[in-house]
Amino acid sequence: MTAPGSSTPFPARIGLGTWEMGVSAAQRSREIAALTHALDIGYRLLDTAEMYADGGAERIIGGALQAFGAARRAQLYIVSKVLPGNASRRGSVRACEASIDRMGCDYLDLYLLHWPGRHAFTETLRGFEQLLRRGLIRRFGVSNLDIDELQDWLRAQNSLGLAATTHCNQLYYCTEVRGIEFQLLPYQRAHAIATMAYSPLGRGALVRHPLLVQLGRERGVSAAQIALAWCLREPDVVAIPKSVVPARIEENLAAAQLRLDPAELARIDQAFPPPRAKRPLEMV
């Protein structure tokens, strides 16, 4: 486990997403088994949200944690998110308590605002501050904030003079969705805000992309592994693919060991062109 304040923002480059888990009671034992398998083979970073299946995904994590053992809780890094509609000062605290309760995990390693909504950022941040003070969360961050929103968020954070700072912005990032490379990624780097890539497989579509399939064939790996290795080419980006299929869960974790070479990256750039800056980055 990475110590707070260390230069590595997360304890692992690949985590496990849980969106769409916990939807169907009939899938419950299969999903708990998949998550248990993930923990057994070494996943340590889990991503969830109160939104997913209305708390159902967090309950699946809770089921897997029981098998993993409460005594080993500290080995894990659990991320959850508050819905914007709940992100008032008191609402954030209540939502976080409920998430912890559903998972039976005592505290969250990272708590994120899922996306911006009607509550003022200062109110959400006051809730996060209270959660930090009570030891219910270790760090806080945001998700889906664009650069203007992130600047507003940081202004709100600074206006409150919080001791802790924003740890991460969780964003849609994969070969076909590269917009964040334009301004947001450099801005986050300049402000020591880590990037967690969600939907790194393009919600599953990229595993069938002809170029990624071809590159995978040449390397003897899968298209999914190419897509994940592409996200991880940036040393400060982590990715959280979701799967409930044990073989895929294994395959995705193994992608953390794969390094794409410059020729492979150039072929991917050709098929998925990077965004081009319209104005100098120094102006951000």
**Which residues are catalytic, by number?**
52
Q: Report if residue 18 touches ligand NAP, rule: CB under 6 A.
A: yes
Q: Which of 11, 4, 49, 34 is nearest to 170 (CA)?
A: 49
Question: Is 280:187 a contact under the CB 8 Å cutoff?
Answer: no
Q: Which is nearer to ligand NAP, 98 or 160 (CB)?
A: 98
Which residues are within 8 A (CB) of 135 and not within 5 positions of it... i.e. 6 or more apart? 107
Binding of residue 175 to ligand NAP (CB under 6 A): no
Kindly state the smallest distance separating residue 240's Cβ from ligand NAP, in Å.
Answer: 5
Reference 81, options 68, 71, 90, 92; nearest CA is 92
In this chain, which of 244, 253, 264, 268 binds ligand NAP, going by CB under 6 A? 244
Number of residues that bind ligand NAP (CB under 6 A): 27
241 is a site residue for ligand NAP (CB under 6 A):
yes
DSSP codes of every residue in 17-72: --TTTTS-GGGHHHHHHHHHHHHHHT--EEE--TTGGGGHHHHHHHHHHHHH-GGG
Q: How far is the CB of 266 from ligand NAP (least distance, A)?
A: 23
Considering only 50, 109, 251, 264, the residue that binds ligand NAP (CB under 6 A) is 251
The DSSP result for 93-156, as a single string, is: HHHHHHHHHHHT-SSBSEEEE-S--SS-HHHHHHHHHHHHHTTSBS-EEEES--HHHHHHHHHH
Using CB under 6 A as the binding rule, whether residue 201 contacts ligand NAP is answered as yes
Stretch that binds ligand NAP, among 101-109, 127-135, 192-200, 210-218 (CB under 6 A): 192-200
Residues 67-106 that bind ligand NAP (CB under 6 A): none
Least distance CB 278 / ligand NAP (angstroms): 26
Binding interface with ligand NAP (CB under 6 A): 17-19, 47, 114, 143-144, 170, 198-204, 207, 222, 224, 240-245, 248, 251-252
